[in-house]
Structure 1
């Protein structure tokens, strides 16, 4: 039973390390684009 718990903890640790590495690699950054929209102002 101890081996199974140890294996699960090791797999969880490796998964967390992989997720952090993937996040820092730049693939999770949103696409940036410029948006311009005209605004009508009622100035009398």
Structure 2
């Protein structure tokens, strides 16, 4: 069971890393939207 949990976490880390590598700026899109809103 612990091995299954370990594999699930490793797969989640890999999928999150792929998403993060697609970002165009220095911070994430949600933070960027909050910053843009506060600037306006």
What is the TM-score of this pair, normalised by structure 1? 0.51
Structure with greater contact order relative to length (CA < 8 Å, sep ≥ 6): 2
- Which one has a bigger Cα radius of gyration? 1
Q: Calculate the aligned-residue CA RMSD, in Å.
A: 2.2
Q: How many residues align?
A: 29
Greater per-residue helix proportion:
2
Q: Which runs of 5+ in 2 are unaligned?
A: none
Question: Can you give the 5+ residue segments of structure 1 that lack an aligned partner in the other structure?
Answer: 34-44
**TM-score, structure 2 normalization:** 0.55
